[in-house]
Structure 1
Amino acid sequence: MRILVVTDAWFPQVNGVVRTLDTLKARLEERGHDLIYVTPQSFRTIPCPTYSEIRLAVLPGRTMARAIETFQPCVIHIATEGPLGLSARRYCLKRGVPFTTAFHTKFPEYLHARFRVPVSWGYKGMRWFHGPSKTIMVATQGIEDELLRWGFSHIRRWTRGVDTELFRPRPKDSLDGVITGPRPWFVYVGRVAVEKNIGAFLDLDLPGTKIVVGGGPQLESLRARHPKVHFAGERLGEELATYFSVGDAFVFPSRTDTFGLVLLEALASGLPVAAYPVPGPLDVIGDAPVGALDEDLKAAALRALTIDPAACRAFAQARSWETSVDQFLANVHPFPPADFFPSDTAPLETAMERGAP
């Protein structure tokens, strides 16, 4: 099956959405599907206001149309609500081409946190964007329940998995000398941005050492305010996995994540989780004995230190990417390309390639 995925979030960004889509791409190709990912890498871009690491495509309409018509996909999935997602949505609606979308990010809450835009306005915009989609894919029951309360419909589950070969327990002394603070080590991994509520973690009076892994617009200001915190910056692959595995507890202060892939990566590394009892942590962990969910984040962090790392590892090993891929394929809506696309499309003159951004 020929599958076209449109995403405004892509490398060099490193976040849960990008890593989810990258893994999906690899797993779909392993199953023999023919893919093209339309990403900002094939367009002229400008930096996103207040978040320069995110690149926004400029006037993508013509190139988007060429990409779709040249590839003639059987499935179009729009992963994000940015300029590329809007362009693909416009193309599909104009020509009556069915498509699916995913709700990865609580942009209404993020806009409220950054610019004080009323959350209700943001969800009105999200309903407009996702309304024509054949299926809106969400990662958890908690997010589905929230979207239903905001008036969304035709929602189906697309859960997440974890790479248990990369994210695995390692010797706790693997970063001794790199991290010099006393134990216990409390680890956070993710974007360093206001919507992640990292200050709620860094302001806690905890024993030992706090470690923050990731980049983002708040990195320098938080580094200046918290000189005793070990800020590791952005890490990938084995380095990232090692930072997970050397910790004693994983602290997840976000109240707005739709899933929190890092929760599964921490658990796969044998790292118990401390978090607020909100959608995301509640859906991933629930009442399983692998995390401590509490409105008192300090109490949760200290309680996480008492949890058995082996139980965390076993919990994560039951969450495979194969289930996630099966759900994605069940949610998409294949269609005969001949019914929608011209048969004499000119060659695509961009950097896009099949199976690659």
Structure 2
Amino acid sequence: MSSILIVTDAWHPQINGVVRSIERTAEELEAIGIRVEFLTPQAFKTLPCPTYPEIRLSLTHRGIVRRKIEAFDCEHLHIATEGPLGLLAASAARKDGRPFTTSYHTRFPEYVSARLPVPLSWSYSWLRKFHNSGSGCMVATRSLEQDLRERGFLNLMRWSRGVDEELFRPYEGSVLPEDLPRPVFMYVGRVAVEKNIEAFLDLKLGGSKVVVGGGPQLEALRREYRDVHFTGPKVGEELARYYSDADVFVFPSLTDTFGNVILEALACGVPVAAYPVMGPLDVIGDTGAGVLSQDLREAAEAALDIPREHCRKIAMNYTWAASARQFLDNCIAARDLHNSMIAEARAAE
């Protein structure tokens, strides 16, 4: 396989794990000679997503998306998200008999139910139909794979994640205010309702709490939690330096499927405190690089004793090169499955 088109509704200016994952995967694929193209909301007129204006919803129709897919002339189509572009791309692919894969990045039903009174069963029914219409659905962890299989999702494929070990590493010096009491308990990520950030902010902890990131809840939380240090969004080396300045990384989310930020924190030598749920269970598990507990305060305080060098050692098990190779193998397997099914159907005629 020499070329792949990735269709994604999640794109810049968003800063999240989906965007970072597909960008880094593309970089690694291009390094081994695979041409990677993107079809994103930047190619269309858009409108902001209600309650989350950073997400842009594309205003287009199937015919236009279909023609753009054809113009890219790629061997394989991968649909990264279930938004307007993803839905239209899947519809166009089915109409043309084109094989495609999807990926399940976000626990969308839980995300919706945090905002609207929509039953989880309705959302999962719709998502199951969408992802099962392709030749393979890529998932990041064993826990997610098991969960989706029990919900009737088919052709599940493992696609793990990586971390940039050169960027995310321990740094000397501090980027936090000198008068900020230690220890520092830090959250990094989107500041949005589905991240369950208040569970962290409400903890009775000594030292200081720091929140790095932007999102629709940022200003409201700033007003409510005046004793918390909110930095706003950070990227690149500046972000890595913030991670490195923390004593414990607190991950309060109950809805993430993986948590790229967990790997980034570990690579910077920072132990993790989290709930024993999907994502933390898969990445931290029994590695000793963090503490998982239903009592998040207990986990945060216990994580202070974990050696920082051990945390980085665990993170080094995840590379973007291996992640990209796994992604490519999935694309090839999905194409082969599609061709095999066509051959069987023709033989049965």
TM range, normalised to the smaller chain? over 0.9
Q: What's 2:30 paired with?
A: 29
**1:226-250, Cα deviation, whole Å (9 max, x unpaired):** 0111101111101111110000000
Q: How does 1:288-327 map to 2 (within 5 A)?
A: 288-327=287-326
Q: What's 1:186 paired with?
A: 185
| Runs of 4+ in structure 1 over 2 Å off | 60-63, 333-336
1:47 partnered with 2:48: yes
1: distance between equivalents of 2:64 and 2:238?
A: 37
> Is the Cα–Cα contact under 8 Å of residues 43 and 60 in structure 1 kept in the other structure?
no
The offset of 1:153, in angstroms, is 1.5
SS across alignment from 2:130: helix
1:211 partnered with 2:215: no
Q: What's 2:126 paired with?
A: 125
* CA-based RMSD: 1.4
The offset of 1:132, in angstroms, is 1.1
**1:299-324, Cα deviation, whole Å (9 max, x unpaired):** 00000101000000111112111211
The offset of 1:73, in angstroms, is 1.1
Q: What's 2:343 paired with?
A: none
1:160 partnered with 2:161: yes
Letter in 2 for 1:212: V
1: distance between equivalents of 2:309 and 2:278?
A: 25
The offset of 1:335, in angstroms, is 5.7
What TM-score, normalized by structure 2, do the two folds share? 0.94
**1:314-353, Cα deviation, whole Å (9 max, x unpaired):** 11112111211111011014769xx9xxxxxxxxxxxxxx
Judged with a 3 Å threshold, the aligned counterparts in structure 2 of structure 1 residues 301 and 47 are, in CA distance, closer, same or farther, namely same
2: distance between equivalents of 1:176 and 1:239?
A: 11
The offset of 1:66, in angstroms, is 2.0
2: distance between equivalents of 1:175 and 1:59?
A: 44
Judged with a 3 Å threshold, the aligned counterparts in structure 2 of structure 1 residues 176 and 85 are, in CA distance, closer, same or farther, namely closer
Q: What's 1:64 paired with?
A: 65
> Is the Cα–Cα contact under 8 Å of residues 29 and 325 in structure 2 kept in the other structure?
no
The offset of 1:116, in angstroms, is 2.2
1: distance between equivalents of 2:171 and 2:36?
A: 35
Q: What's 1:332 paired with?
A: 331
1: distance between equivalents of 2:135 and 2:248?
A: 40
Structure 2 unaligned spans of 5+ = 340-349
The offset of 1:176, in angstroms, is 4.2
Identity of aligned residues (%): 55
Structure 1 unaligned spans of 5+ = 340-357
Q: How does 1:67-78 map to 2 (within 5 A)?
A: 67-78=68-79
Q: What's 1:199 paired with?
A: 198
Letter in 2 for 1:125: W
Relative to its length, the structure with more helix (as a share) is 2
Letter in 1 for 2:49: C
2: distance between equivalents of 1:4 and 1:180?
A: 49
Letter in 1 for 2:198: G
1:139 partnered with 2:140: yes
**1:225-279, Cα deviation, whole Å (9 max, x unpaired):** 0011110111110111111000000000001100000000000000000000001
**1:139-174, Cα deviation, whole Å (9 max, x unpaired):** 000001110111111101000010000000012x32
2: distance between equivalents of 1:198 and 1:256?
A: 12
Q: What's 1:98 paired with?
A: 99
Q: Identify which range, 78-87 or 61-70, moves more after superposition.
A: 61-70
> Is the Cα–Cα contact under 8 Å of residues 40 and 56 in structure 1 kept in the other structure?
yes
> Is the Cα–Cα contact under 8 Å of residues 212 and 232 in structure 2 kept in the other structure?
yes
Letter in 2 for 1:313: R
1: distance between equivalents of 2:179 and 2:114?
A: 34
What TM-score, normalized by structure 1, do the two folds share? 0.92
Letter in 2 for 1:285: I
> Is the Cα–Cα contact under 8 Å of residues 212 and 230 in structure 1 kept in the other structure?
yes
Letter in 1 for 2:104: F
The offset of 1:192, in angstroms, is 0.4
The count of residues paired between Structure 1 and Structure 2 equals: 335
**1:276-295, Cα deviation, whole Å (9 max, x unpaired):** 00010000111111000000
Q: What's 1:282 paired with?
A: 281
Q: What's 1:174 paired with?
A: 174
SS across alignment from 1:115: coil
The offset of 1:175, in angstroms, is 1.1
1: distance between equivalents of 2:176 and 2:103?
A: 40
